[in-house]
Chains A and B, each alone.
Chain A
Amino acid sequence: MQLSRLVESDQEVCLGIPAKVLGIEGYLADVEIGGAIRKANIQLVSGVKVGDYVLLHAGFAIQKLDEKEAMETLKLLEEFYEVR
């Protein structure tokens, strides 16, 4: 699923994909998407660290994904499930 997205992303302008940061050298990071490794420019996001997930779009990281917020959203959805 993720890999097919990666392939499609080469043709699509608007797609953003979560990518895991494996290493950082200056403005460039090695990121992993569904097993594939590619370079990402991280100039547009402050405070990126190895292990973070960033949203990758057209070669640039455009945001650091917030794990705490992601967990909150999922927790809320579980609550929806329980009160159903």
Chain B
Amino acid sequence: MKFVEEFQNPRLVRSLLEQIRSLAKRNVTLMEICGTHTMAFFRHGIRGMLPKTVNVISGPGCPVCVTPTNVLDAAIEVGRRKGVILATFGDMVKVPGSRSSLEIEKALGSDIRVVYSALDALRFAEKEDGKMVVFLSVGFETTSPGTACTVLDAVQREIGNFKLIVAHKLIPPAMRALLEAGEVKVDGFICPGHVSTIIGSEPYEFIPKEYGIPCVIAGFEPLDILQSILYLLRQIDEGVSKVEIQYKRSVRPEGNPVAKRVMSEVFDVCDSDWRGLGRISESGLELKERFREYDALSIFDLDLGEAVEPAGCSCGEVLRGIKSPTECSLFGRACTPSKPVGPCMVSSEGTCAAFYRYSGGATKR
């Protein structure tokens, strides 16, 4: 068992598709809320396999994409300070803030470094003790336990020149905000398998209970995704709504208790600004009071100003699932992966970048 190829078996893919076809009698819209699902749908060509009646849209599941410009502006400002190394994940570097990007700042002389893990940033801090290493930490519940772990590591090893800009976000409050806004009609949610590996299935229970919408927590291989779609269609067909776990090899109903404990030891839940969705109550994480000395924004006395969306950019509507990338007037013309205007075109997990990459860019609009 290698946990990958086994879940790509073409024979079983065909049998699942047959069953999906027999259940897809009326038009349904399903939403996925995970950058890895966005990519998996394109990589495996799943939309093209599905019957016309099954429409799959992407929600705000790309962590880079939902990070507002004011966080980037603050990171850029911190990166300009003398003696600072600003470290973050690769995709963040190219995202335009309101006036600049970390990539431009790097060219202008700021010490900006791309890391794979928060631990890499901590390693820089250890090596270069004359400098202050600031880690711009973005991501959902999948990423925040690792960041929390790294903070505890820094405390324990007394690495005082390691600081963070924490911009972590929580998925279930964003789902509630989408449902409350009521702009998009969703018949079923394909819930994110890796976020759910940490939080479990309970945090989604409000969706069937309060909104009557089926949820299936899905893995990322073709068989996972198709089985999840089949389960959603079954619930819809039977007129029931509940939270089911398809990705059982990784997701337990209670999630990962160790990771949840570490997260709550380091972070408090706070209100948070999302690109495209605005401020959502209790949808973000901040360092607890006793870790404030690790908070780069309070050390540099920086306030997050107001977030400004780039003119003409439809990332907000794309993140809310009410516009397809090709409906944006900038898509493939003024906004391409090599010269992105909005974050959804930057991140490989972004809906616009995935559309561009897999649909022949601007040529097939």
Contacts and interface: CB of A to CB of B under 8 A. Distances in A.
Interface of A: 1-2, 8-16, 18, 20, 41, 43-46, 53, 55, 57-60, 62-63, 65-67, 69-74, 77-78, 80-81, 84
A55 B198 CA distance: 11
Residue of A57, A62, A70, A81 with most partner-chain B CB within 10 A: A62
B256 A11 contact: no
B349 A16 contact: no
Given A14-B194, A65-B250, A77 B227 contact: yes
A70 B91 CA distance: 32
Interface in B105-121: 116-120
Name B's interface SS. helix
Contacts of A67: 1, 249
Contacts of A10: 90, 116
Contacts of B262: 43-44
Contacts of B3: 18, 53, 65, 70
Contacts of B18: 84
Interface of B: 1-7, 9, 11-12, 15-16, 18-19, 34-36, 39, 61-64, 89-91, 116-120, 138-140, 142-143, 145-146, 149, 193-194, 197-198, 220, 223, 227, 246, 248-250, 256, 258-259, 262, 347-349
A37 to B, nearest CB: 15
Contacts, number: 153
A70 B5 CA distance: 12
Contacts of B119: 41, 59-60
A74 B90 CA distance: 35
A14 B63 contact: yes
B348 A8 contact: yes
B274 to A, nearest CB: 15
Interface of A is mostly: mixed
A2 B143 CA distance: 21
Contacts of A14: 34-36, 61-63, 139-140, 142-143, 194, 349
Given A14-B62, A41-B149, A59 B139 contact: no
B250 A63 contact: yes
15 contacts: A11-B348, A13-B349, A14-B142, A18-B3, A44-B149, A58-B116, A59-B116, A62-B194, A66-B249, A69-B248, A70-B248, A71-B1, A73-B7, A74-B6, A74-B7
Nearest to B120: A59
B138 A53 contact: no
Contacts of B16: 77, 80
Given A45-B256, A53-B3, A60-B149, A80 B15 contact: yes
